[in-house]
Amino acid sequence: MDDLKSLKGIVQSDPEILGGTPVFVGTRVPLQNLIDSLEGGESIEDFLDGFPSVRREQVVAVIEAGKAAVLQSVGHAHPH
């Protein structure tokens, strides 16, 4: 899947890090923490303030991959 390849170097799952929970590369911050923060109404800045080891570029890449996956699932080949 292209979306997973686009996240190489951004998110990883390693059995030695939090038992394989997907985390941001170079950190022990689970991807789920970002999802929970955004769902809870926090901004990207709030999340980055709380997890300074995560880079803004990593967060944006995850959001872009999610957007691409949604657009693909509804049959749009390219975003507006």
User: What pTM was estimated for this model as a whole?
Assistant: 0.81
Q: Which pLDDT band holds residue 2 (cuts at 50, 70, 90)?
A: very low
Break the chain into its structural domains and give their ranges: 2-73
Judge whether 17 and 28 are in contact, CB under 8 Å. yes
pLDDT of residue 13: 92
Measured distance CA(16)–CA(59) in Å, rounded: 23
The domain at 2-73 falls in which architecture?
Orthogonal Bundle (1.10)
> 5-9, 26-30, 72-76: lowest mean pLDDT where?
5-9
Kindly report the number of other CB atoms within 10 A of residue 66's CB atom: 13
Tokens describing residue 9: 């170097």
Cα 14 to Cα 24, 36, 39, distances in angstroms: 11, 21, 25
Instruction: For residue range 11-22, list pLDDT tens digits in order.
Output: 999 999 999 999
